[in-house]
Structure 1
């Protein structure tokens, strides 16, 4: 009986050690979090992968149970100072992407954005996201945060906001599938693509092996076409 208990205990501890490395992922996409988690997990043997659909849940989990590594957009990576950036995502050889304001029929006046209602996918939480967007736009706007990418289009469809703040690539996607006359306001603002950062250098090789094995479809879902070590 004691022998069986010892074997069970050793097996449990061994299993825990194999899954000791953990990766938290928060990259807003139109793919459900559980499906994305399954896809990423298939490439990350020996790593406990958790994908989050909401910024609030992601940041809370990091605070309470810090992982070995995180994968998110660069503004999120830069906010979490306990993690050292090690891998950056690229698209067409570039590590960032243009962002625009998207509205219906008429573009916004770039020099008159104060108090405009702007929709955005939340990355950082209410206060931090408001400060982040205000600094980028150089104006104090009324921010309407949503948790999912698919919630953005209804904001301008039903005139809940004056515009949505999104990447240029997402604008092209929305324009191709919406019957609305979507127009963009260029901003000369670039935001970093998905990147990975570590809290423990021990998992660096395992994280590299994981990300660099992603197939084309998974990379596209994450908004990149390749990865580069820093």
Structure 2
């Protein structure tokens, strides 16, 4: 009986519980590959990885699944205060990038932004997207904003005339150009935006996040980056 009780306590104790990480940020990388690579990294042994292709799937999961860690767009912790950014992903030694605002009709230029419809991947939720995009555009704004669930959906929406502009990162744009031959025009760049961040749940031991500094180059590549650095407070 004592052995059974000891086994039960070990299985149900916090020390025995597996840590979990949620991964959501707009990307052209396959979420299945991200999840598989992250879950197979020796530095993250014992961590269960769940990657999500759509913002709504990620937020739905938060309602039922506890996560100690999350990889999120750098802006998202502003709207999810339960997560605190601790590490910054980098690409080419850069911590940030600028979104490109793209059109496929030269008449939709910078002067007509306010009369056009913009398209963007759902990154912060519908109630937050308007102010977020306006902040990216440094005070300029679209007449209306339409959201899609995945990066791959941006070009079809633009080609079909459902929007006049799309907001997309340069690396995602280059990837989509390999699949879509439509000619594009860069209208303007947004302000600088940090690359996604590794977050830890508020109240969780921050030292437990240090293992992410040891993830492999293959894992970083699967995520779409080539470096990870601690965020200085």
Q: Distance in 1 between matches of 2:118 and 2:226?
A: 29
**CA separation in 1, counterparts of 2:168 and 2:211?**
31
**How far, CA to CA, are the matches of 1:53 and 1:5 in structure 2?**
42
Residue aligning to 1:164: 166
CA contact (8 A) 1:19 1:47 kept: no
- 2:97 maps to which residue? 97
Q: Secondary structure, in 3 states, of the residue corresponding to 1:196?
A: strand
The aligned runs of 1:94-173 (5 Å cut-off) are 94-106=94-106, 108-137=108-137, 138-173=140-175
Does the aligned pair in 2 maintain the 1:113–1:140 contact within 8 Å?
yes
Q: 1:69 to 1:185 in 2, by over 3 A?
A: same
CA deviations 1:203-230 (Å, max 9, x no partner) are 53443323531324x4234332100012
Range that drifts further, 185-194 or 67-76: 185-194
Match of 2:22 among 24, 27, 35: 24
Q: With structure 2 as the length reference, what TM-score do the two structures score?
A: 0.84
Counterpart in the other structure of 1:56: 56
Tell me which of 208, 211, 230 is aligned to 2:210. 208
Which position in structure 2 is the counterpart of 1:9?
A: 8
Match of 2:84 in 1: 84
Deviation at 1:96, TM superposition (A): 0.8
Report the CA distance between 1:22 and its aligned residue.
2.0
Shift of 1:199: 1.9
Partner residue in 1 for 2:32: 34
Answer whether contact 2:101 2:188 (CA < 8 A) is retained: yes
Instruction: Summarize the Cα distance change of 1:229–1:47 in structure 2 as closer, same or farther, 3 Å threshold.
Output: same
Contact 1:107/1:184 (8 A) holds in 2: no
Following superposition, the deviation at residue 33 of structure 1 comes to 2.9
Match of 1:224 in 2: 225
What SS does the corresponding residue of 2:53 show, helix, strand or coil?
A: coil
SS at match of 2:209: helix
Deviation at 1:78, TM superposition (A): 2.9
- State how far apart, in whole Å, the 1-side matches of 2:12 and 2:107 are: 59
* TM-score, normalization by structure 1: 0.85
Is there any run of 5+ residues in structure 2 with no aligned partner, and where? none
